Amino acid sequence: MPLLGFTVRNHKSIRDEITLDLTRPSLRTLRPRDDDWNGVTYPLAGVFGANATGKSSVLDALRYTFSAISQSATAWQASKGMRRAPFRLDGSVRTASSTYELDFVHAGHRHAYGFEVDHDGIRREWLRDVPGSRWRTLLDRDRDTGVLKFHPSLRGRIDVTGRELVLSRALLFNESSLHTIARELVDRFDCVLVKDSPREARLRDIADSLAEGTITFPDVEALLQVAGIGVDGVSLEETETPKEVRRHLAFPHRGSADERPQFSIHEESDGTIAWLATAVPAVEALRKGGLLIVDEIDSSLHPHLLEVLLGAFADPAVNTRQAQLIFTSHESYILSPLSDVKLEPEQVWFTDKTYDGVTELTCLADFPRHPDANVARRYLAGRYGGTPHLSPSTLTALIVSGEDRGSGPP
């Protein structure tokens, strides 16, 4: 399922339509002449920018899209209204609809799947493919006109409620022709978030996967050895409660004592937690193919360790399943000549925020090319945007005013 591009409008800090393009400049038609999609898509794309410029909003829009496919026909039905997160700093936009579209490859053919949602539910939904040299409509849904059309090549009609996607409902029907598309999209997508609660949930998933055998102890131990963080292995601790069995990871550490004390996950460093929470889903994506998105991938990771991770996706000898990684980062080292992972301009994106709080997305390829330029230095200098607008004088004044207040008589 190579992802070719993603388009979103009206999601969190994204007010206007933006597109993240993962295709190489060599793709100038709807499909490559040799049908080698791997040769015309990038395995990596990085989104760089200052704090609060909307990097995470781009990834969250992707996560929302796949969540809607996975859950709008099931878990989301329990909500009173349509789950969505529109731009909130503009009254007219806040009540307007939002659109999401995936451009991807399924069964060797290019597909475009998208939907438009508002407070009441699904306003529009569409699916197109390119069986030859032009687009063909497979699904066309429009709430305003009451249209719900399926191409004759699709077996059977799927009826849906106003707040569920046809593709989400198709997940429940194995006999539907749309089932395989929906299933591949859902099964080949994963995300890693930087916040504490998602990371803890990810570590619980790792513990459950070890218990179920979907990943092995040698897998996790090998990843710990890659990081070189002094952890000798991993073990699994189980605590039974009346309702469930809770599993926790524990790690024996090297030391000068004969015994090897076990450290619980709560005693481990942020670096160990960040590495496992990111590396395990990365290995799974590389083994089976698919799309992995990671927010603030550099958080608590050394740049060289980050290089190892990015390098695995960039190396075609390792990444044989067309796995893709989209990440956000503040780490300029990745863009510098010192990095072993060389990102082409089309793989580097920047977010910036306007005075009105609107996220803008630009590509490094849109700027004048300087073959010998230090991209990292130019990025930090603000040549591409995406850098913070700092006011150190305000901090200085705050400190000085506090000192003045504290220097008065008791």
pLDDT greater than 70 at residue 387: no
Residue pair 325/43 in contact by the 8 Å Cβ criterion: yes
Q: Which amino acid is at 303?
A: P
Q: Are strands 109-118 and 98-106 parallel, antiparallel or unpaired?
A: antiparallel
Give the per-residue pLDDT at 168: 97
Half-sphere exposure of 70 (CA within 13 A, CB side): 13
pLDDT greater than 80 at residue 391: no
Give the per-residue pLDDT at 397: 66
* 230 confidence band (pLDDT: 50, 70, 90): low
Give the per-residue pLDDT at 265: 67
The mean pLDDT of 253-276, rounded to a whole number, is 70
Give the per-residue pLDDT at 16: 96
Residue pair 73/366 in contact by the 8 Å Cβ criterion: no
The mean pLDDT of 206-213, rounded to a whole number, is 86
* 406 confidence band (pLDDT: 50, 70, 90): low
Q: In Å, what is the CA distance from 338 to each residue of 8, 13, 212, 385? A: 34, 33, 41, 22
Give the per-residue pLDDT at 270: 76
Give the per-residue pLDDT at 386: 55
Give the per-residue pLDDT at 183: 96
Residue range 57-95, pLDDT digits in tens? 999 999 999 999 999 999 999 998 899 999 998 888 888
Give the per-residue pLDDT at 78: 92
pLDDT greater than 70 at residue 395: no
Distance CA 148, CA 139 (A): 7
Give the per-residue pLDDT at 101: 98
Distance CA 383, CA 38 (A): 32
Q: If you ran DSSP here, which 8-state letter would residue 194 be given?
A: -
* 362 confidence band (pLDDT: 50, 70, 90): very high
Give the per-residue pLDDT at 346: 96
* 384 confidence band (pLDDT: 50, 70, 90): low
Element (H, E) at 46: strand 44-48
Q: 87 vs 254, which has greater pLDDT?
A: 87
pLDDT greater than 70 at residue 372: no
What percentage of the chain carries pLDDT values higher than 70? Answer: 84
- Token pair recorded at residue 178: 């749309």
Beta bridge partners of 104: 3, 111
Residue range 316-360, pLDDT digits in tens? 999 999 999 999 998 788 888 888 899 999 999 999 999 899 999
The mean pLDDT of 245-261, rounded to a whole number, is 70
Give the per-residue pLDDT at 382: 63
pLDDT greater than 70 at residue 133: yes
pLDDT mean across residues, the chain: 86
Residue pair 379/48 in contact by the 8 Å Cβ criterion: yes
> What is the secondary structure of 359-386 as a DSSP string?
EEEEEGGGSPP-TT--HHHHHHTTTTS-
* 401 confidence band (pLDDT: 50, 70, 90): low
Q: If you ran DSSP here, which 8-state letter would residue 369 be given?
A: P
What percentage of the chain carries pLDDT values higher than 90? Answer: 52
Distance CA 5, CA 18 (A): 11
pLDDT greater than 90 at residue 44: yes
Distance CA 164, CA 167 (A): 9
pLDDT greater than 70 at residue 290: yes
pLDDT greater than 90 at residue 263: no
pLDDT greater than 90 at residue 233: no
Which position has the token pair 């513990």? 207
Residue range 161-194, pLDDT digits in tens? 999 999 999 999 888 889 999 999 999 999 988 6
Beta bridge partners of 329: 48
The mean pLDDT of 242-261, rounded to a whole number, is 71
| Closest to 166 measured CA to CA, from 148, 191, 147 | 148
- Global model pTM greater than 0.85: yes
The mean pLDDT of 39-45, rounded to a whole number, is 96
